[in-house]
Structure 1
Amino acid sequence: MRALQEVEGSRAPISIKPKVDPAAEIKKMALTRGGGTYIPPHRLRAMMAEQAQDDQQGEDYQRLTWEALRKSINGLINKVNTANIKLIVPQLFGENLIRGKGLFVRSVMRAQASSLPFTPIFASLVTIINTKLPQVGELLLHRLIHQFRRSYKRNDKPTMTATTTFLAHLVNQQVAHEVLALQMLVLLLERPTDDSVEIAVSFMREVGAFLAEHSARANNGIFDRFRTILNETGIDKRVQYMVEVLFQVRKDKYKDNPIIPEGLDLVEEEDMITHRLSLDDEVQVQETLNIFKFDPNFKENEEAYAEIKREILGDSDDEEGSGDEGDTEEGSDEESEVDDGIKADGTVDVHDQTGANLVNLRRTIYLTIMSALDFEEATHKLLKLDIAPGQEVELCNMVIECCSQERTFSKFYGLMGERFCKINQVWATAYEQCFVNYYATIHRYETNRLRNIARFFGHLLMTDAMSWTVLEAVKMNEDDTTSSSRIFVKILFQEMLEGMGLKRLVDRFKDESLQPYLANVFPIDNPKNTRFSINFFTAIGLGAITENMREHLKKMPALLLEQQRRAQPLILIPLRILRLFFRRLALPQAQVFPPLSVSPPRAIPLALLRQPRPVSLALAGKVLRQPEPHAVTHALPLSSPSSQWRRQEPQPFVLSLASTSQHPSPLSLVLSVSPSSPPRGLASKAARPVSDTASARLGVQARLPSS
């Protein structure tokens, strides 16, 4: 009993916790390093409204608006991408970026460091903000330069890699001057180590195209330093290989590292503002801008930014608010609440913008292929997957990637691709699109993967699972091919030859329906390209498919002469001179001309050729007479249709009549040079001048005789 009383006496009295003041609790948590705990948007708006009723100039209200500004900026930066950057920028300008420029810069640097592939997007976003608010871009450069110095002294390789990548894209966007990039390269290569050279190589790949265009001499000096390091310094083999790859990238003119990626060139050059900061300048980090400070002129500053926002976004954005000082924060909270996907009925609509669904789909496809015993089982299982419309190309890409990862080509993947193409035309179209994409980027693959991809597509072509019209993407000439693409075409055609045989392959290439799509594979537009294609296919053992090109190459001189003949000017011959010609040639007029009439008037074209042609008389495509060659000693001047027929030095000509498709007139004349000698007495009779002023009015209209 005494023991029980002692235990009861030792118990502490129960205390009742006092009621917590929300404003005081938020103030207490905001002073912590993490900035406080999560507050739901509806609760935050309610607390801001309560504080606004009490005192809009108070510290508690300013702290709440600061918290809302921080969350809004972080949310907008975390969801920016190439597709929605034009929508995110107006929302960012809707926030008070002058008050929260420290929050914006810190959020951008953190987001870029955690996702380096998105660096061009963040650089483009900063470029747009910098055109309207240059102090934001300047603060970002100050902090990046400070971070670069600190990481260089501490040998912090991950931080330095992120910083140099960000600065490289800011130089490309002309937010920072190229002098800053050159100073960084000089510092990294002054005392080369494996890490410093590696960072310099990655930095040069990003900014090299810009420096080559704007500072060519300095760029050449940097590459000379790289060459010296490669030859004289004992750096690691891996780093040496990286330097060699950099020289190859420079030789390819940075085709995989453009100055500004497609879709991110959003600022006109005259609107860009470049900050001329260097590594030696004194930087002002201004870390105090990251934390809340009470502003005694809070209301005036908010009104001043409202004017700036009105100038940037226009008057329409101000009409959306209610007119009080908390409109900006409330509007951003409402937008963020809509983005949460909470509907009026309480359901949640989730939109995946991280690509997690696509990654899961690829993982499922890979596991399904690896677990299948044969291609029929794999095809059956893959068709049962829930593949959204438009994602068929992803499945095709995964099949090709799995095929390329094998040591040698496995017919399992070819049969699976063939089955997909023959089940539905949608899959055939998807594989045709994959062929075009892989051929355009085939230089990125190593030889073994390239071989497997070529044999995969060769199997689809030889089994007619995929249309042969995709060969239109192959341009077989010296300018449009690389060593990788030529190896790809070689293995592709050899796979088709092995499966079809030479005779079937040649007959298929002679198919008339495929000729428009094979014009680039077997070019006949240029003799140089024709010879290149003939030599290539002959070297790989497919000379039989080049017969048409060889025949065309033999006829090329004659075709060129024919083109020159057609390109020469035409003249008109008056009817009286025409009759005089036939009288001098001793041809009966009745045999040459059927009954003629002069209406409607039509001219007779005459062309001068450099090579002789046989004399023939044809009317409306029908040959009427083939007289013996005759020679005349006078020719019509080719200066103009209105020139006169004057006496000239003896010059033999042969006259022929033919109906041509190029000239719609029923009768045309061709006058060509002949080595024959003129008959006696012809020169004196034909020397009299004849006026052809009536050639514009006179003409012939020939008809075939009834006989």
Structure 2
Amino acid sequence: MKAQAASLPFTPIYAAMVAIVNTKLPQVGELLLKRLIVQFKKGFKRNDKAVCLSATTFIAHLCNQQVANEVVAAQILLLLLHKPTDDSVEIAVGLTREVGQHLEEMNRPIALAVFDQFRNILHEADIDKRVQYMIEVLFQVRKDQYKDNPAIKEELDLVEEEDQITHTTALDDEIDVQDGLNIFKFDPEWEEHEAAYRTLKAEILGEGSDDEDDEDESDDSEDDEEKQEEKALEIKDQSNTDLVNLRRTIYLTIMSSIDPEECCHKLMKVTLPAGQEPELPSMVIECCSQERTYSKFYGLIGERFAKINRLWTELFEQSFAKYYETIHRYETNRLRNIARFFGHLISSDAIGWHVLSVVHLNEEETTSSSRIFIKILFQELSEAMGMPKLQARLRDDILRPYFEGLFPSDNPRNTRFSINYFTSIGMGAVTEEMRERLQNMPKPALPAPAAAADESDLDLAREHLHEPVLLTEDVPSHELLPEALKAKAGKEDEV
């Protein structure tokens, strides 16, 4: 679903793939349809045009492939046209262009009802001129019998009609999207299930003959030899001209884009040489840091890339550690922009919260620059998420080990430093647990001062001096004195 939303023109291909999988694993096709319906409902309630557009496009092509019943497409169309707005009519027009031919063939009364609704909107509703033109173009497409918008292209008609399994999930059904499947659970019989899955995978993809394998191996060996010959003729460029040109291309692409969606689309087309992938996150962050004030434009670019592919997620996470270690090299304004950029990525879960493990908040391991960076980062997190959600995330049992550097508990001095720091930046609420731990820490026992011990000995000696002394013939007088004064008395007797 994420891949389809990021590349809508490839939706027919994704739908064809789902149709093939659905013949062997119908529960997968049904679950995908349910999640798309729920995604559309959420986007419709939130007035999120992009989400609605991606969900309806996918549902339309699933209907064309007969993975989903055409009734769900009709229900979505009638819902969008019930209270027409510019956006809802635009989405409905796009959906009708994709699924119209299939509706005409499978359920003509529904198709007539939908086009009657479009006709009423065109004549009566107060909508934008642009949307009116879109409806007129739709009627022309229908008149031309969808010659430019066929239900299924010939090269994507891969499943026989009798083999396909059609799911009849409706828009108003109670739908369970089975979110529990998103969480890994250990399977004690995973070896047997893996073997069964490999068998099923071979049935879906088909197995090639041994002759084809031999031919492929010979072709691969020839390709390897050609590559080795090319490598022998390669000349290394020590002037980094290619790297400079790559950075210039990325910079100009970012600066020439109007919105984040356009920028991401253009950057995805930039050819990155092997090993130069970190240059793209680096250039996005550098461009962000050079702005006079922080622009959310860059945060949305980073978020989109980090959510497209795990590779970009890891590169942005590595960038966080690199920039935190070298943050003292940046002036305050650039530092502020970088901190807010990463604050946006973390608050949107584009990168993992475990990146905060590189932060050790104590007097020895922080500088004035790093403390400013942490301050702005947490202020951005608080502003984006709200303090209650931020506190809940910081207290998460799974993430807690990554925050030991931020909220130290091993040393009272570091704990006190962290408490004072967060309190001074107006975020004392996150230090409540640290305050409790600090109060419950056992206080070390202080040794008695030496001066006090000497004074007690003198007091004891004075008490003995005031006691009556009984002299006898057998016992010398100095032996009746306290131990502290015996030595002195013995010396006087010798004299």
TM-score, normalization by structure 2? 0.43
More helix by share: 2
TM-score, normalization by structure 1? 0.30
The structure showing larger relative contact order (alpha-carbon pairs under 8 Å, at least 6 residues apart) is 2
